[in-house]
Amino acid sequence: MKALLDTSLLVAALVEAHPRHEQAFPWLLRIRDSEVTAAIAAHSIAETYSVLSSLPVSPRITPSAAWALIEHSVLPFVETVDARAREVQETIRNLSRQGITGGVVFDALIAAAGLKVHADCIVTFNIEDFRRVVREGEIDIREP
């Protein structure tokens, strides 16, 4: 199985104090043990860093610690999927035709990355947002 990991899963998996850590962390273990092949959208690197480095936890996660978590606990084990300008434009064009606006646009770009690498599923805690931007039958959307 090939899974595309959403930022919501990554953050929960990397932060032990996160309320959904116990649900998310096994996914990182399965990926490290090669039970599951995984990918992330390049955008998710920036988004995960942004969330980790600004989370209201004590002690705070410093910018360097946030990067170290991503660099050592995620990137060696996943394929990073870049979006070309044409692919971003096409995704936004499709959203505009559907009247979809706001932050869900970033979920659409993440979903496009999953489709690009033929992922079997997107693993996320934001199921409803992804259902707004993924056509039924295109890719499975599941919670950890």
2-142 homologous superfamily: 5'-nuclease (3.40.50.1010)
Q: In this structure, what is the dihedral angle of CA atoms 42, 44, 50, 51, given to the nearest 10 degrees?
A: -170
| 143 close to 124: Cβ distance less than 8 angstroms | yes
pLDDT value at residue 42: 96
Angle at which helices 7-14 and 63-73 cross, to 10°: 100
pLDDT value at residue 80: 97
What ranges do the domains of the chain cover? 2-142
pLDDT tens track, the chain, 144 positions: 999 999 999 999 999 999 999 999 999 999 999 999 999 999 999 999 999 999 999 899 999 999 999 999 999 999 999 999 999 999 999 999 999 999 999 999 999 999 999 999 999 999 999 999 998 899 999 999
Which backbone phi and psi does 59 adopt, to 5 degrees? -70, 155
